């Protein structure tokens, strides 16, 4: 049995809990601290330290980060301060927290949790996780194996970045009805169908809890589309799985 502290970095909050990585259960309650603005590396490392202190944690930590992460290095930061780009996130957070920290893309983390413990469990073939939040995150699995750092939210659709049209932020910013927003999500999912022919598309992010409000507008999508079962726990659980997937 391994317990790992999972931290999920979102556009508005940094959320953490200790996770039993064998079962995906939370061992503690969740603790949330607002994402600092500007969301600079130093300010966020300090919040990570506060989260670690809150749990009096000394073990391994996995962090889900909303950008491309290659070997611990942050390569993109669409919705955070641009000074993150090319920062060694593993090193920065490890030094700030005083424990071993491994970073992973936030959607890759959420997808791992759903494939291990949720709606994607035991599904063979190509499975895509999409998180609809401040941005759109994506994760691709082939027979349960992650293909990391896909960035489907940055696909250009009709001259616009997909996440500016179909994220839950876009719904709020553009004051879209469920029907109008559902049509945007549908157009995006049909692109996924066309390009990847997935068996299953799992939809995550807080808005996936309200799947029944927009699922009527997703007709015509060929893949099976299901809301995430882990909801917004997935980011924390998947982040906690990350240190073990890194060996």
For ligand BGC, the binding residues (CB under 6 A) are: 66-68, 76, 78-79, 105-107, 131, 133, 135, 137, 151, 153, 163
Q: Take residue 85 and report the two structure tokens written for it.
A: 């780009």
Report residue 156: phi and psi, to 5°.
Answer: -95, 125
Nearer to ligand BGC, 57 or 120 (CB): 120
Output the smallest distance, CB 80 to ligand BGC, in A.
9
- Give 72-129 as a 3 state SS string: CEECCCCCCCHHHCCCEHHHHHHHHHCCCEEEEEHHHHHHHHHHHHCCCCCCCCEEEE
Q: How far is the CB of 206 from ligand BGC (least distance, A)?
A: 12
Name which of 57 and 192 has its Cβ closer to ligand BGC.
192
CA gap 177, 146 in Å, rounded: 34
Residue 202 C-beta: closest distance to ligand BGC, Å? 14
What is the closest distance, in whole angstroms, from the C-beta atom of residue 65 to ligand BGC in the complex? 8
Residue with the closest Cβ to ligand BGC?
135
Residue with Cβ nearer ligand BGC (57 or 110): 110
CB of 137 to ligand BGC, least distance (A): 3
- Number of helices followed by number of strands (H, E) in the chain: 8, 15
Q: Which is nearer to ligand BGC, 6 or 133 (CB)?
A: 133
Work out the angle between the directed axes of helices 234-245 and 106-117 (0-180°, nearest 10): 90
Nearer to ligand BGC by Cβ, of 68 and 96: the residue is: 68
Q: Which is nearer to ligand BGC, 57 or 141 (CB)?
A: 141
DSSP per residue over 127-170, as a string?
EEEEEESSSEEEEEEETTEEETT--GGG-EETTEEHHHHHSHHH
> In whole angstroms, how close is the CB of 166 to ligand BGC at the nearest point?
12
Q: Give the integer Cα–Cα distance in Å for 32 and 11.
A: 12
């Amino acid at each position: 049995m391994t317990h790992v502290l999972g931290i999920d970095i979102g556009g508005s909050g940094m959320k953490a809990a200790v996770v039993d990585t064998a079962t995906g259960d939370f061992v503690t309650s969740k603790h949330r601290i607002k994402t600092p603005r500007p969301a600079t590396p130093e300010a966020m490392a300090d919040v990570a330290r506060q989260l670690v202190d809150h749990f009096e944690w000394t073990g391994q930590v996995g962090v889900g980060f909303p950008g491309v992460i290659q070997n611990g290095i942050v390569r993109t930061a669409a919705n955070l301060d641009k000074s993150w780009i090319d920062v060694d996130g593993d090193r920065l957070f490890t030094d700030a927290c005083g424990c071993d920290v491994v970073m992973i893309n936030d959607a890759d983390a959420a997808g791992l949790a759903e494939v291990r413990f949720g709606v994607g469990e035991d599904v063979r073939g190509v499975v895509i996780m999409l998180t609809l939040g401040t941005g759109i995150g994506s994760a691709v699995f082939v027979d349960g194996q992650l293909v990391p750092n896909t960035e489907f939210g940055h696909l250009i659709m009709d001259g616009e970045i997909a996440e500016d049209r179909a994220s839950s932020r876009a719904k709020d910013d553009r004051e879209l009805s469920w029907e109008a927003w559902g049509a945007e999500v549908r157009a995006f999912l049909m692109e996924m169908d066309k390009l990847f022919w997935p068996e299953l598309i799992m939809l995550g992010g807080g808005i996936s809890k309200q799947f029944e409000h927009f699922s009527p507008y997703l007709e015509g999508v060929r893949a099976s589309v299901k809301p995430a079962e882990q909801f917004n726990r997935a980011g924390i659980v998947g982040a906690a799985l990350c240190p073990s997937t890194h060996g």
